[in-house]
Every structure is written in structure tokens, then in C-alpha cells.
Amino acid sequence: MAAYIPNTWIKTAAMVALICLAACSQTDVSPPPQAVEASAALQAHSAQFRQEVVQVLPGIHVAIGYGLANAILIEGRDGLIIVDAMESAEAAESVKGAFAQISTQPVKALIYTHFHSDHIGGGRILAGNDRPEVYCHAETLAHMNRTATITRETTYRRAMRQFGTLLPEGGRINAGIGPRLEYDQTKRLALLPPTRTFEGERLDLEIAGVKLVLMHAPGETPDQIVVWLPEQRVLLPADNFYHSFPNLYAIRGTAYRDVMLWVKSLDRMRALQAEYLIPQHTRPIVGKQKIYTTLTDYRDAIQFVHDQTIRWMNQGLTPEAIVERVRLPEHLAAQPYLQEYYGTVAWSVRSIFDGYLGWFGGNATDLFPLGQQARAERFAALAGGQTALLDHARKALADGDYQWSLELTDQLLRLDPSAPDVRQIKADALRALGHRQTAATARNYYLTQALEVERKLTIGSLKISDPQLIHTVPLAAIFEGMAVKLDPEKSAAVDVVAGFRFPDTGEAYTVHVRRGVAEIRPEFPEKPAIAISIDSNVWKEIAAGVRSPAVALVTEMDKEGGTLDIVRFLSLFKAD
């Protein structure tokens, strides 16, 4: 355990980056200066994630570098409070061992600052056998369920790219806000469900003699809470602050993040006049004036990007044109905690535009654009045929015009998706662009997708296989997930009403498949063609793919309607 020393901007020699880059590179070509500079900056940023447990002040410790996020330990009179729980059982086990070196008192409370998996995935491990209360905001549960049942597959694939989780040894420098995401399909989720939630602005608590205030502070997520310890003047800002330009939009895919709510939350945090700031990512900051100045710069950077995006938007500019114009003013751009290691100004501009006006940028050309195939054919014709288009793509790569090379190879791959020479050109362009990125998220995404294009990497699907975790998902979320799995082709001529009863919970649902749409209602239908009565946990396991529906039909269900009809009905919903 290390005593806390206020962080300074640590610079790492460019030679370290060159060594790393050589290990990562797929070619023998020496990296250009801009690639060396970007990698050196990102390598230096890794100092934010040196693995250690830091004692910020007596009784308050933060575990840094054990996974993507930090876990914070607060010692009370007769027990422990842990804020955030890592991303997996494996990451949490390491933290649990480190915390055990500090105290063996029982865990009285776990606090989840928001629903992101890197803050909740190891709760059962950190709690051990202590049966603590688990606190979060009331909105957190809805977001957890939505992620688990609606968007899990696509956000998982994209997260693997954003965080570089599946890159080979030496391929990832860091993940922007942590050394790595300690989670993929091989790791175990160990979520401990919340036991106490709150609505409104704040919840005042005293746990093990420690006074805490949980403050609802929407920012990176709508359910975000920050933790304030008034007696110690300690603020835990959740993901509303970390040592990087904020991720106002995440390329793994997120709903719109209301950036002005984020600014207002930062204003509330500034008003606390904290003397210790312990982020859930990156290292602590000590000193009231330093914290106030840092949070002021942070909120000003967000508001600047918001206001300038709106300013240009109101002058009729498209997102692409606004991206070219919005740059942080020098006094903000120079701050080490506003470097683009995780979020970027350009992505933020696009997200803000979309959040206010939606996908249409205002150029009528984009209202009904050519289809991808037609566009590719016209590109080839304009170039003088596919061979000529391929020559242009090769030349762009050789000239270092990597973005243009990518755009040309995209057209060629629509015409011939399996063309190995085109795939290699695209992979080389992706890799070259990746090495030029200071943003770890962009770097990791480029390099991961290069391996996918070369067919050296396939990202699998994320299965939730732990029955204990599956059983915590509400039935309402399970049925919402069913609706988005309906196969429109198989169900195009189907009009069938099915009823589901769950005697153990007293719940019932209607699933009306009607020519490509599954209407879900939380009630049993009057005259169902198919009626199923089943234990809720069995049904959840079937929906999660860990229990065979065919076996359950025989052994676990009371049913009305032919077995073959039920099998056909369930087959309308695509497997994960």
C-alpha cells in the first residue's frame, strides 16, 4: 500500500513507445513521427494506472490499476464500505485480496455509482459472505436490465474493440481510463443485485459510523451518483471526472449523454469545495484549490464544445463541417486532464448534434442516399473499373492517405467481400491509423478491427451463463428482449397469441406475434393459441440459452396447444 503523493504529469521517453510499437506492428516499416508521438503520449498516460492501493487519507483507500475502474475502500467503526466493484469476478478477486491486507472487518455496504459493468461486475466477490446492503440510484436497475437483454450483443462486440481487450500481447497500450478491461466471454460476472435504491437528488446515510451523502449527478450516465463524505471533505466523482477529455460519446455505442446535465452536476460538485477528489478512474487529486480549478476547467471544456456545436448548428452547418471548426481554446487544450485519451472533441460534436437534431445533418443529398451496393458500383465505374479502383486504394495506402484508402476499400469489399488483397490493404490502413491515435479508444478500435478484417480475430457473443445472475433479471426485461429477437422473415405470415403464466411470482405475459412484430403485454390473454405455465427462473434460463427449451417442454412446462406448435413459436425468436 502506498501513501498518496499528488500526481504530476509524468513523461515517458519516446524510446519506450518505439519498443512497444515495434512489438505491435504487423509490418517492417518504421513508424512515422506522428505515430511515435501519439504512442509516447499514450504510454506516458499509463502512469495514471500504476497498480497499487493508495491511502488517500487514514481510513480511505483506492485500488488503482486492477482493472478498468477503481474500487474505493472506506473503513468505518465496525465495518467497511466499498464504492464500486470492478468488472468481473477475476478483477474483484485481486482487489479483495489487496483490501484484506488493510482490514478484515465485515463489508457493511457496497455502493454502485452507476450501471456500467466495470463498476458492478464483481460485487459478489467483494461482499464475500458479509451480506452487505447494496446501494444505487433507482434508475440504475432499469439501465442494467436494458443492457442485459436489449443491446448486449452489439455493445459487447464494440466494447471489445474500444477497449482492445482481445488484442494480442503488446497490442494494447492502455484503455484510456484504465490499463485494461478485465472482462470478455471467458471471464465471470459476479453481480450482487442492489438491495436499496433511492430516487430524487440525495440520500443521507451513516454506515459504520461514517457519514455519507449519495448525490444524483447525471453525466456520463443518467443514473450517475457521486459520493460525498462531508466530515473528511472527500468527493468520489464517479465517472463525471477522470484524467482525460470526457467520453461525451462512447464509440462502443451509447444513448445520448446530456452534456449540459453533466455540466450542472460538475457545478454541484465544485460547490462542495472538496479537499480530496478520488475518481473511479485514474488517480486522486489533493487540495481544495487544485480540485476546484480542475473541475472548473472540466465543466468549461464540456460547455465550450456544447455551445460551439449549437452555435454552428444554428448557422446551418452539417456535423462534418462543425467538426472541422470546434477546437478547445488553448488554456483548456493544454491541461493534462483534458487530453483526448478516452473521449474526443470530434465525437462529442457529432453526438451533441444528433442529440438535438437527430441523424439528418441538413444536406438534402443525405435524405435518400444511394444504397451501399449501388454506391460501390458507381465508385468502381468512376475509377474505370474494380481493378482501377483497387489501384487507387493501393496508391492511397502507399502515399499514407490512409482514410481515403479505407473509404476505397470499403467500396471494393461491398463488390467482393472476400477479396484477400483488398482486405489486406484495409487492415494495413486501419493499423496505420491506429498507431497515430492518442485516444486509446480509437487506437484499440482500429487495431482490433484490422485483425477482424484479416480474419485473425472473431469476437464471440457474450453469454450470461451464471444462473444466480440470470435469476435477478426481471421477467419484464426478458420479454422485452424477446421482442427484438423476433425473426421477421419466419414470422412474416404468422398471427399467433401465446400466454405465459409464472405461478412462483404471480406474473403473466402475452406475446402476440403479428406478421413480423411481437407485441408484449403484462397480462394473460383471453384466448391464447398457446398457453405455457412455467417457473420464472426456468424461463429466464431458457431465454438466456443455458437451458434447453426442448427438454423443458417435457419436464418443466404445463402447456396447452400442441408441442410442435410451441416449438415452432419459440423458433421464431432468433437465438443469441
In the three-class reduction of DSSP (H, G, I as helix; E, B as strand; rest coil), residue 430 is classed as helix
Residue 13: predicted pLDDT: 31
Q: How far is CA 530 from CA 486, 492, 495, 522, 565, in A?
A: 17, 19, 12, 16, 8
Average pLDDT over every residue of 308-313:
97
pLDDT bin (cut points 50, 70, 90) of residue 397 is very high
Whether the pLDDT of residue 67 is over 70: the answer is yes
What angle in degrees, to the nearest 10, is found between the helix axes of 420-435 and 440-453?
A: 160
Distance, CA of 178 to CA of 488 (rounded, Å):
41
Question: pLDDT tens, 85-122?
Answer: 999 999 999 999 999 999 999 999 999 999 999 999 99
Distance, CA of 447 to CA of 439 (rounded, Å):
12
Strands 495-502 and 530-533 come out as parallel
Residue 39: predicted pLDDT: 87
Q: Lowest mean pLDDT of 145-154, 225-234, 404-413, name the range.
A: 145-154
Residue 558: phi and psi, rounded to 5, are -95, 130
**Percent of the chain at pLDDT exceeding 70:** 94
Please identify, in words, the CATH class of the domain defined by 2-296.
Answer: alpha beta
Q: How far is CA 82 from CA 72, 121, 126, 127, 274, in A?
A: 6, 13, 8, 9, 20
- Residues in the chain, how many? 576
Task: Check if the beta carbon of residue 536 is closer than 8 Å to that of residue 507.
Answer: yes
Residue 20: predicted pLDDT: 34
**Percent of the chain at pLDDT exceeding 90:** 80
What angle in degrees, to the nearest 10, is found between the helix axes of 288-314 and 259-271?
A: 160
Q: Is 331 exposed, middle or buried (0-12, 13-18, 19+ CB in 10 A)?
A: exposed
Task: Check if the beta carbon of residue 353 is closer than 8 Å to that of residue 317.
Answer: no
Task: Check if the beta carbon of residue 482 is closer than 8 Å to that of residue 573.
Answer: yes
In CATH, 369-453 is 1.25.40.880: yes
Q: Lowest mean pLDDT of 66-70, 74-78, 482-486, name the range.
A: 482-486
| Helix intervals (H) in 168-275 | 259-271
Distance, CA of 50 to CA of 12 (rounded, Å):
13
Buried b (16+ CB within 10 A) or exposed e, 451-471: bbbbeebebeebebebeebbe
Q: Lowest mean pLDDT of 12-16, 98-102, 343-347, name the range.
A: 12-16
Strands 507-514 and 558-560 come out as unpaired
Whether the pLDDT of residue 330 is over 70: the answer is yes
Strands 202-207 and 107-111 come out as unpaired
Task: Check if the beta carbon of residue 475 is closer than 8 Å to that of residue 539.
Answer: yes
Query: 198 forms bridges with which residues in the sheet?
Result: 137
Strands (E), 462-517: 495-502, 507-514
**Pick from 182, 162, 160, 237: nearest CA to 49:** 182
Neighbours of 418 (CB within 10 A): 8
- Can 369-453 and 467-570 be said to share one CATH topology? no
Whether the pLDDT of residue 3 is over 70: the answer is no
Q: How far is CA 362 from CA 256, 313, 354, 375, 513, in A?
A: 19, 10, 11, 21, 37
Where do the structural domains in the chain lie, given as residue ranges?
Answer: 2-296, 369-453, 467-570
Residue 575: predicted pLDDT: 57
Average pLDDT over every residue of 198-209:
97
Average pLDDT over every residue of 62-76:
98
Higher pLDDT, 214 or 17: 214
pLDDT bin (cut points 50, 70, 90) of residue 558 is confident
Question: pLDDT tens, 478-535?
Answer: 999 899 999 999 999 999 999 999 999 999 999 999 999 999 999 999 999 999 999 9
Residue 17: predicted pLDDT: 33
Distance, CA of 114 to CA of 143 (rounded, Å):
9
**Pick from 127, 168, 142, 219: nearest CA to 24:** 168
- What distance separates the 2 farthest-apart alpha carbons in the chain? 78
Contacts of 99 (CB under 8 A, 6+ apart): 53, 61, 63, 71, 73, 80, 82, 126
Strands 234-236 and 225-229 come out as antiparallel
Given phi > 0 = left and psi -120 to 50 = alpha, else beta, which region is 282?
left
Residue 550: predicted pLDDT: 79
Neighbours of 55 (CB within 10 A): 16
Distance, CA of 79 to CA of 93 (rounded, Å):
19
Cell triple for 539:
424461463
Q: What is the CATH number of domain 467-570?
A: 3.30.1050.10
| Distance between start and end Cα atoms, the chain | 43
Question: pLDDT tens, 285-308?
Answer: 999 999 999 999 999 999 999 999
Cell triple for 433:
491509423
Q: What average pLDDT does the chain have?
A: 91
